[in-house]
Structure 1
Amino acid sequence: GGVTVFLFFFLSLQIALYLGKRDFVDNVDSVEVVGAWFMYVYLACAFRYGSDDLDVIGLSFRRDIWIKRIQVYPPTGETPTKTPMLESLMKKVGDQGAPFSFQMPTNLPCSVSLQPGSNDSGKACGVDFEVKAYIANNKDSADEVIDKKDTCRLIIRKIQFAPATNNPGPKAEVSKQFMMTDKPVHLEASLEKEIYYHGDPIKMNVKINNETNKTVKKIKVSVEQVTNVALYSSDTYAKDVFTAEYGETVNANSTFDKTYDFTPLLSNNKEKRGISVDGRLKDEDTCLASTTLSQGDKEMQGIIVSYKVKVNLFVASGGDVTVELPLTLMCPKPAGECNVSRNCARNVSCDFSLFLVHDR
């Protein structure tokens, strides 16, 4: 019926994991629902901070942030809410199907990766979400070793879209007085709107009132990505994802008013190690990591991303004047229903359900 389903087979085709989508949207106040032997499925949010090779020498290369496990066979009596996707899958697999769903809490981070360097190999560091189905011989046995042939797994993503309402942008101003001058340089910067989409030009208005006897030699505009990695401790990394210098001068006792357009893009930052990017599936295209939205009252672990725009004035024989503005950079929520595409701004499908087929 035109429905896209992700399907993974393991256990000599005796167990199959069906997913209607691999992207699950974090709406800040809620997260989309993920849908004598025993069959379990678990969903894990983890932070990967090293290569798989480290596991060979006994070092842990990932830390689980959140895990939830459910028993899907034998049935426990709990059934997920029926959706069009779930009903379609039930018709396809019949009585062998075991439907299930997960509800992720709102304080989990989104899927974000740290861009590796040119000489780095293996999986990138970052936050990922994994759905794993496996067959166990014992009920709720933590010590049982599960054979790989009795397991299938699939990486999914948790993503956020920009809110539907877009408010007027922030404004900031500063005045700075220099030696040998009685009056200051006044700098004001403002963004046209609060939220910008990846790939769209950012419009910023800059106003300068130079009441000094000095000349403003040039103007520098930069966009800084701030990545906060919150695990055992909180570490913050700041990297410029856009920088431009404009050789426009503002003479003594004069004013200046101009709107600048600029666009921070991942394609211009491919060589920068440690840039945060939106989580990707296999080798598909991605973009700079979106701003992380949160409710503010819940502690969040993992990777939290924010942006700020800086405007620097370089004053002759005087130093500089700097002002900063917060920037929200996100993907727009798709209008209506759509299929998952490689375009970051439309990386979502319409509906989803999770389904397990068993035949043992």
Structure 2
Amino acid sequence: MVVNFKVFKKSSPNGKITLYVGKRDYVDHISAVEPIDGVLVLDDEYSRENRKIFGQVVCSFRYGREEDEVMGLNFQKELYLASEQLFPVAEKRDFTPSKLQERLVKKLGGNAIPFTFNLQPSAPASVTLQQGRDEAGEPCGVQYFVKIFAGESETDRTHRRSTVTLGIRKVQFAPSKTGAQPCTIVRKDFMLSPGELELEVTLDKQLYFHGEKIAVNCCIRNNSNKVVKKIKAMVQQGVDVVLFQNGQYRNTVASMETTEGCPIQPGSSVQKVMYLTPLLSSNKDRKGIALDGQVKKEDTNLASTTLLASPEQRDAFGIIVSYAIKVKLFLGALGGELAAELPFVLMHPKPGTKPKVIHADSQADVECFRQDTIDQDSVDCY
């Protein structure tokens, strides 16, 4: 039986260097990150001349608009997470090629060189911030690239004609174990008035998947002499740009307000369930919304919650995303309002973990990318 497996391919503009990778999404398991396995193929000319070829994994963080980069300003930082000389091959190489690499080396010939890069778990996840309609250029956020180039040293200024740059993503999936059911109770008393107003908010679970409906259970006990006139529930996305001291803000990505069951008179209680679904389709024109990183010009979704192994990792290089449910009770101009918040986790489910078996007669379905860009639509090669 012949089995097809997917391979991504990109060549340098001069055609002397070609990069093959088996995937473009690499999973952060909190304790470790999937290794970046690939194969480098050199032209005969470069191979004969023993041209030095280097490979790097670059984490690029853009925190300002590209069109505002004037008078020498630069709103982009680059962090080199891995760097290694790939050719001439070192005599002592401490890694074992994967099955995919072995199959590609056998298929591509003697100029094929397998390589592996390892990322630290503290590296940030791929996140981009949605641009406004009138904005052009690269979006703000965190992006990753595998860069292969010819040069004299790892710090040599690269020449575009002999450089391959392929965009990849560092992603996180939902954990297998979920936390306790979220629940909170807030109370408010009033000056010169007896009793208090109590709001209890409960979610049916802590972890939700993208596109899933969130049931917000609200229990209101009005033991005061005030009247609740309206109830509003919101899903708020928290964005923490850790490069800035004041780079924290929130966006409401889903909301619902109702007067059903209102006014809630003194001495009465009301219990109701409000349903919210946070979706990017409802926030297409909202500037600053955090989205999952993109590797091609295709639709994405709201950014997933950033999972950290410890709070100290908040100082890492990147953008941290969180979500919370906020419920407000409106009591009128004189009574003010009462609010309760509940954090929750919004992520993609972990895909099937069954490994693909690559047989000796397997055929590679190669997807190529144009040389002048990393994000233009790909074309299939046969």
Aligned partners of 2:147, 2:68: CA distance in 1, in Å? 22
Over 3 Å counting, the alpha-carbon distance change for 1:213 and 1:176 in structure 2 is same
Q: In structure 2, what residue type is equivalent to 1:71? A: Q
The answer on whether the counterparts of 1:34 and 1:103 sit within 8 Å (CA) in structure 2 is yes
For residue 149 of structure 2, the aligned residue among 119, 134, 138 is 134
The answer on whether the counterparts of 1:168 and 1:192 sit within 8 Å (CA) in structure 2 is no
Partner of 1:244: 256
Aligned partners of 1:162, 1:300: CA distance in 2, in Å? 21
Aligned partners of 1:69, 1:323: CA distance in 2, in Å? 48
Aligned partners of 1:241, 1:283: CA distance in 2, in Å? 22
Partner of 1:304: 320
For residue 102 of structure 1, the aligned residue among 117, 121, 124 is 117
Partner of 1:24: 26
Aligned partners of 1:338, 1:124: CA distance in 2, in Å? 34
For residue 292 of structure 2, the aligned residue among 278, 281, 285 is 278
Q: In structure 2, what residue type is equivalent to 1:7? A: K
Partner of 1:202: 214
Aligned partners of 1:241, 1:164: CA distance in 2, in Å? 26
TM-score (normalizing by structure 2): 0.83
Aligned partners of 1:14, 1:280: CA distance in 2, in Å? 27
Query: Is 1:258 aligned to residue 272 of structure 2?
Result: yes
For residue 183 of structure 1, the aligned residue among 182, 186, 195 is 195
Q: In structure 2, what residue type is equivalent to 1:279? A: G
Q: In structure 2, what residue type is equivalent to 1:322? A: A
Residue 187 of structure 1, CA deviation: 0.5
Q: In structure 1, what residue type is equivalent to 2:324? A: K
Over 3 Å counting, the alpha-carbon distance change for 1:264 and 1:95 in structure 2 is same
For residue 65 of structure 1, the aligned residue among 75, 79, 86 is 79
Q: What are the superposed Cα offsets for residues 312-342 of structure 1, whole Å, 9 maximum, x if unpaired?
A: 0112441111111012111111124599xxx
Aligned partners of 2:355, 2:298: CA distance in 1, in Å? 18
The answer on whether the counterparts of 2:58 and 2:146 sit within 8 Å (CA) in structure 1 is yes
Give % identity. Answer: 38
Mark the runs of 5 or more structure 1 residues left unpaired by the alignment: 340-360
Q: What SS class does the counterpart of residue 200 from structure 1 fall into?
A: coil
Residue 251 of structure 1, CA deviation: 2.0
Aligned partners of 1:208, 1:56: CA distance in 2, in Å? 55
Question: Matched residue pairs, number?
Answer: 336
For residue 347 of structure 2, the aligned residue among 330, 351, 360 is 330
- Which one has more relative contact order, counting CA pairs under 8 Å at least 6 apart? 1
The answer on whether the counterparts of 2:323 and 2:343 sit within 8 Å (CA) in structure 1 is yes
Residue 52 of structure 1, CA deviation: 5.0
The answer on whether the counterparts of 1:112 and 1:289 sit within 8 Å (CA) in structure 2 is yes
Query: Is 1:291 aligned to residue 293 of structure 2?
Result: no
Over 3 Å counting, the alpha-carbon distance change for 1:118 and 1:318 in structure 2 is same
The answer on whether the counterparts of 1:79 and 1:100 sit within 8 Å (CA) in structure 2 is no
Alignment of 1:24-63 (within 5 A): 24-35=26-37, 36-52=50-66, 58-63=72-77
Aligned partners of 1:119, 1:312: CA distance in 2, in Å? 34
TM-score (normalizing by structure 1): 0.88
Partner of 1:88: 103
Q: What are the superposed Cα offsets for residues 237-286 of structure 1, whole Å, 9 maximum, x if unpaired?
A: 11111121111212221111122221011110111101110001221111
Q: What are the superposed Cα offsets for residues 8-63 of structure 1, whole Å, 9 maximum, x if unpaired?
A: 01143221011111111111111111125200000011201345566685332310
Q: In structure 2, what residue type is equivalent to 1:319? A: G
Q: What are the superposed Cα offsets for residues 99-158 of structure 1, whole Å, 9 maximum, x if unpaired?
A: 11111111111000010001001111110001110011x2x363x433211111101000
Q: In structure 1, what residue type is equivalent to 2:215? A: K
Over 3 Å counting, the alpha-carbon distance change for 1:273 and 1:52 in structure 2 is closer
Partner of 2:223: 211
Aligned partners of 1:116, 1:313: CA distance in 2, in Å? 33
The answer on whether the counterparts of 2:144 and 2:167 sit within 8 Å (CA) in structure 1 is yes
The answer on whether the counterparts of 1:65 and 1:302 sit within 8 Å (CA) in structure 2 is no
Aligned partners of 1:123, 1:332: CA distance in 2, in Å? 29
Q: What are the superposed Cα offsets for residues 66-105 of structure 1, whole Å, 9 maximum, x if unpaired?
A: 4321111011131533322222212221221111111111
Partner of 1:125: 140
Q: In structure 1, what residue type is equivalent to 2:307? A: L
Q: In structure 2, what residue type is equivalent to 1:44? A: V
The answer on whether the counterparts of 1:25 and 1:159 sit within 8 Å (CA) in structure 2 is yes
**More off after superposition, 194-203 vs 175-184:** 175-184
Mark the runs of 5 or more structure 2 residues left unpaired by the alignment: 38-49, 357-382
Q: What SS class does the counterpart of residue 5 from structure 1 fall into?
A: strand
C-alpha RMSD over aligned residues? 2.0
Alignment of 1:221-236 (within 5 A): 221-231=233-243, 233=245, 235-236=247-248
Q: In structure 1, what residue type is equivalent to 2:30? A: V
Partner of 1:174: 186
The answer on whether the counterparts of 1:114 and 1:275 sit within 8 Å (CA) in structure 2 is yes
The answer on whether the counterparts of 2:53 and 2:149 sit within 8 Å (CA) in structure 1 is yes
Q: What are the superposed Cα offsets for residues 192-232 of structure 1, whole Å, 9 maximum, x if unpaired?
A: 11111110001121111111222211100011111111125
The answer on whether the counterparts of 2:11 and 2:19 sit within 8 Å (CA) in structure 1 is yes
The answer on whether the counterparts of 2:255 and 2:276 sit within 8 Å (CA) in structure 1 is no
